[in-house]
Amino acid sequence: MPQAAALLPDTNLRDVEWLSERELKALQSAGLESVGDVLHRVPRRYEDRRVSAPLASLVNGETYSLRVHVYSAGWRFSYKKYYEVAVGDEGNPYGPRLYLRWFNMPYVAKLIAVGMNLSIYGRVKVMGGKLTMANPDFEVMEEEDAGLRLAEIAMGNMALPADATPGQERVHTGRIVPVYRSVSGMAMRSYRALVWNLLRDLAEEIAPPVYDVAPTYPYRRALQDLHFPGAEEDSRKARMRFALAECFMQQFRVAWRRRRNQAHCGQITATSDGYLEELQAALPFALTAAQQRCVAEIRADMASPRPMNRLLQGDVGSGKTLVALCAMLLAVESGHMAAMIAPTQILAEQHYHNFCRLLKGMDVRISLRTGARADDTDYLAEMSGDSAPRIIVGTHALLYKKNRPANLGLAVIDEQHKFGVMQRESFINCGDHPDVLVMTATPIPRTLTLTLYGDLDVSVIDELPAGRGEIITALRNPDNTKRIVAFMRSELDAGRQIYIVSPLIEDSEASERKSATAQLEHWKSIFPDEPMGLLHGRMSADEKDAVMAAFRANETHLLIATTVVEVGVDVPNATIMLINDADSFGLSQLHQLRGRIGRGSHKSYCILLSKSKPGEPGREKLEVLCRTLNGFEIAEEDFRLRGPGDVLGTEQSGLGAVRFAEWLTDARLIHRANRDAAQILDADPELILPHHHALRSLVSGEIAQAVVG
Ligand code: ADP
Ligand code: MG
């Protein structure tokens, strides 16, 4: 049924005549409204259904990728129990058989049933005159359709669109076939046919939605290659094109922001070093060379009238807080307020106490301001009545306009990855354009720094303070904790403190409280005489503070906690970090947890408890952790294991939805996108030209981040 009017990407699916009401509903519930929404939905993978050898041609000892039909299946017992599936060529029930055997994989029996088609990959071996494959890789082909298809036929709806494909072109077989994430209420086959038909009816000449990043590779052609590539190479090429488009959108926004921010006239907030020298003289240690370099870089920014927009990056324990404090002292001395914004109340309290201690005897005022404090009115009165320079420590409550201190010269945002880009923006763009320093302990590969923080200048603390105790990391089975307990006993006797961290199993208040309390009881029965604290996410801010304060003051010796201790907490006397079910944490998270120890001069121990066995999922990251202490190396591994999108969390990183993750780590794409963005903004800084209008909407937020073109 050819369409009268050709389709465009922004044609609403409602206006696609041949689409059934039921399918339209299914698509809409999946959030797909327009033709472009469907066409920009990337195949999850492809199946190469072009070649499959007939079973009669198989040769002993060779490895094959085959498409086969299941004729019988069942358990077999010989010297070992195994599940055997007899397969043959589809549509040839009396033809040759191949016997697939799975040993020690009982779940296979649940996945395979007679009548299914399988895609298998494995090595053929002739045994007792039979063709066999032991533990082959397999995939049930279009399993997701089977039930639906039967249902549809049962309901008398036999006219599946796939069968009405014009031009004899095959959509589902005999080609490289796209496989998508399932849309509920729609069989994979129907969805694939839909994509095929939309592409068929698409207008000849269409422009990409926002900007054409690759004019020599027509957008329409690229869409075709993305969904129905003629060869693997085509799909790679198409993905690259769309990855570049996505990367360009992201880099364009970053470039735009950077130019905006630089255009502001800021303040000069570093004039003299009196406080800085006083602090350094009072410190029991010297700043590391890296810290000094970072302070100098920050100082230069602050001394210039351009607003500072800098990222301070450093591995856990590298001493970022002190660098931030130096910057804040510079601001205060030049007559400005300086604010430190921490992601949690615990950290805000910690910074506050820390600063009070470090600045004791100096004539610098410090206030604490967090959302949980009930002293809003006092605080506001205090702030409005008195804008004398001081350091203010707080949580994100400080980000709200009404709480923002007047005369703000410098804002430091600790653990930036816990905040969103928009929150950072809100500070940068506030009234008098304060200098902004963001700090992060999430080490990210260099190309990504450019991607995520391309609008920031970067300082890196690439050196840990000297005199740190060694950190030993060990992986242990939780069934055998006798020696671990004995070791904990000896550390406690030596006066050290211990963290015990458990994952959040279920995200419900009752269960979190319960499992945390159960942990506490457990450890109380083991160390009945040791004072312990319990910290979990369901406590009030004041309760948490009290628990943290007691641990910091060494009044409690063990701290039983959920991940609230993950970031920033600094108790140098703690030497053991015991992590339950370590495999259920992310790699970077484990690195953060381990960063809580090894902060003093004592040797420290990170003990990972896990039942996982070598080769099992979740095990590899634990091995990585045992192998290295280097945060950058760990970040690289995390990227490799989980993929950048999952590591970074697209929401907070300001990436938007990432569909083509390749570009996140592809420096060439990033540089090219970066260059293209700069060229456009050089030529048309305000994006006034008509063909830049879509870009203008992009940066002003009118176009959703997810648009790819
Ligand atoms: P992070 O970079 O993880 O935020 P912190 O700022 O919490 O690290 O610092 C970790 C610990 O190192 C703190 O106890 C801090 O007092 C200490 N520290 C910071 N700088 C130095 C230094 N130059 N020499 C010795 N110890 C330092
Ligand atoms: Mg910190």
Domain locations in the chain as residue ranges: 51-174, 274-461, 471-629
For the Cβ of 418 lying below 6 angstroms from any atom of ligand 1, the answer is: no
Banded model confidence at residue 396, pLDDT cuts 50, 70, 90: confident
What is the model's pLDDT at position 419? 63
Model confidence at 298: pLDDT above 90: yes
CA separation for the pair 134, 45 (Å, rounded): 25
Instruction: List the alpha helices (DSSP H) in 176-265.
Output: 188-201, 219-227, 232-263
* Ligand 1 closest atom vs CA 287: 23
Q: How far is CA 106 from CA 87, 321, 590, in A?
A: 18, 53, 32
Task: Please tell me the class of the 274-461 domain.
Answer: alpha beta
What's at 218, amino acid-wise? Answer: P
Which SS3 state, helix, strand or coil, does residue 117 take? Answer: strand
CA–centroid distance, 320 to ligand 1, in Å, is 7
What is the model's pLDDT at position 238? 94
What are the residues facing 125 on neighbouring strands?
Answer: 132
CA–centroid distance, 286 to ligand 1, in Å, is 11
Average pLDDT of the residues in 535-545: 83
Question: Do the beta carbons of residue 462 and residue 596 sit within 8 Å?
Answer: no
For the Cβ of 594 lying below 6 angstroms from any atom of ligand 1, the answer is: no
Banded model confidence at residue 462, pLDDT cuts 50, 70, 90: confident
CA–centroid distance, 275 to ligand 1, in Å, is 19
What is the model's pLDDT at position 381? 46
CA separation for the pair 678, 256 (Å, rounded): 9
Question: Do the beta carbons of residue 575 and residue 498 sit within 8 Å?
Answer: yes
Average pLDDT of the residues in 403-420: 77
* Ligand 1 closest atom vs CA 316: 3
Question: Do the beta carbons of residue 76 and residue 83 sit within 8 Å?
Answer: yes
Cα radius of gyration (the chain): 30
Q: How far is CA 234 from CA 39, 106, 221, 222, 224, in A?
A: 16, 39, 10, 8, 9
Protein residue whose Cα sits closest to atom 12 of ligand 1: 319
Question: Do the beta carbons of residue 247 and residue 663 sit within 8 Å?
Answer: yes
Task: Output the pTM of the full model.
Answer: 0.68
Model confidence at 528: pLDDT above 70: yes
Banded model confidence at residue 104, pLDDT cuts 50, 70, 90: confident
Question: Do the beta carbons of residue 250 and residue 287 sit within 8 Å?
Answer: no
**Which pLDDT tens digit goes with each residue over 14-59?**
999 999 999 999 999 999 999 999 999 999 888 877 777 889 999 9
For the Cβ of 409 lying below 6 angstroms from any atom of ligand 1, the answer is: no
CA–centroid distance, 205 to ligand 1, in Å, is 60
Instruction: Give the helix/strand (H/E) hosting 646.
Output: helix 644-648
Contacts of 200 (CB under 8 A, 6+ apart): 166
What is the model's pLDDT at position 377? 46
Residue with structure tokens 């088609």? 117
* Ligand 1 closest atom vs CA 570: 7
DSSP class of residue 207 equals -
For the Cβ of 569 lying below 6 angstroms from any atom of ligand 1, the answer is: no
For the Cβ of 336 lying below 6 angstroms from any atom of ligand 1, the answer is: no
CA–centroid distance, 298 to ligand 2, in Å, is 17
Banded model confidence at residue 163, pLDDT cuts 50, 70, 90: very low
| Tokens (6 digits) for 388 | 């004398």
For the Cβ of 460 lying below 6 angstroms from any atom of ligand 1, the answer is: no
Q: Is 565 exposed, middle or buried (0-12, 13-18, 19+ CB in 10 A)?
A: buried
CA–centroid distance, 366 to ligand 2, in Å, is 18
- Domain 51-174 and domain 274-461, same fold? Reply is no
Q: Which of 312, 322, 591 to mutate to test the pocket of ligand 1 (most atoms within 8 A of CB)?
A: 322
Instruction: Give the helix/strand (H/E) hosting 101.
Output: strand 98-103
What is the model's pLDDT at position 27? 96
Banded model confidence at residue 239, pLDDT cuts 50, 70, 90: very high
CA–centroid distance, 364 to ligand 1, in Å, is 21
What is the model's pLDDT at position 608? 96
| Tokens (6 digits) for 427 | 């500070």
For the Cβ of 371 lying below 6 angstroms from any atom of ligand 1, the answer is: no
Model confidence at 161: pLDDT above 50: no
CA–centroid distance, 707 to ligand 2, in Å, is 35
Model confidence at 383: pLDDT above 60: no
Average pLDDT of the residues in 604-625: 90
Question: Do the beta carbons of residue 58 and residue 98 sit within 8 Å?
Answer: yes
Neighbours of 470 (CB within 10 A): 10
CA separation for the pair 606, 374 (Å, rounded): 38
For the Cβ of 318 lying below 6 angstroms from any atom of ligand 1, the answer is: yes
What is the model's pLDDT at position 432? 73
Question: Do the beta carbons of residue 342 and residue 398 sit within 8 Å?
Answer: no
Model confidence at 701: pLDDT above 60: yes
Model confidence at 498: pLDDT above 50: yes
Model confidence at 3: pLDDT above 80: no
Banded model confidence at residue 166, pLDDT cuts 50, 70, 90: very low
Protein residue whose Cα sits closest to atom 18 of ligand 1: 319
Residue-by-residue DSSP string for 20-83 = -HHHHHHHHHTT--BHHHHHTSPPSEEEE-S----GGG--TT-EEEEEEEEEEEEEEESSSEEE
CA separation for the pair 473, 621 (Å, rounded): 13
Contacts of 407 (CB under 8 A, 6+ apart): 335, 336, 337, 387, 389, 432
What's at 111, amino acid-wise? Answer: L
CA–centroid distance, 494 to ligand 1, in Å, is 23
CA separation for the pair 482, 542 (Å, rounded): 36
Protein residue whose Cα sits closest to atom 23 of ligand 1: 287
- In 3D, which of 520, 565, 516 has the Cα closest to residue 544? 565
- The sheet carrying 574-579 orders its strands as 471-476, 604-609, 574-579, 497-501, 558-561, 532-535
For domain 51-174, the question of CATH label 2.40.50.140 is answered with yes
Average pLDDT of the residues in 555-572: 82
Most confident of the ranges 272-276, 331-335, 478-482: 331-335
- Where is pLDDT greater, at 18 or 706? 18
Which SS3 state, helix, strand or coil, does residue 342 take? Answer: coil
CA separation for the pair 607, 576 (Å, rounded): 7
- Where is pLDDT greater, at 91 or 415? 91
- Where is pLDDT greater, at 123 or 165? 123
For the Cβ of 288 lying below 6 angstroms from any atom of ligand 1, the answer is: yes
CA–centroid distance, 568 to ligand 2, in Å, is 4
CA–centroid distance, 596 to ligand 2, in Å, is 10
What is the model's pLDDT at position 706? 44
What is the model's pLDDT at position 164? 35
Among all bound ligands, the one having the nearest atom to the CA of 291 is 1
Among all bound ligands, the one having the nearest atom to the CA of 418 is 2
| Tokens (6 digits) for 214 | 């690759």
Average pLDDT of the residues in 82-107: 90
For the Cβ of 291 lying below 6 angstroms from any atom of ligand 1, the answer is: yes
For the Cβ of 709 lying below 6 angstroms from any atom of ligand 1, the answer is: no
Task: Please tell me the class of the 471-629 domain.
Answer: alpha beta
- Where is pLDDT greater, at 298 or 702? 298
Among all bound ligands, the one having the nearest atom to the CA of 357 is 1
Considering Cα of 76, then 81, then 83, then 88, what sign does the dihedral take? negative
| Least confident segment among 505-509, 688-692, 699-703 | 505-509
What is the model's pLDDT at position 160? 38
Question: Do the beta carbons of residue 437 and residue 412 sit within 8 Å?
Answer: yes
What are the residues facing 103 on neighbouring strands?
Answer: 82
Average pLDDT of the residues in 233-252: 90
CA separation for the pair 590, 580 (Å, rounded): 11
Question: Do the beta carbons of residue 516 and residue 348 sit within 8 Å?
Answer: no
What is the model's pLDDT at position 386? 59
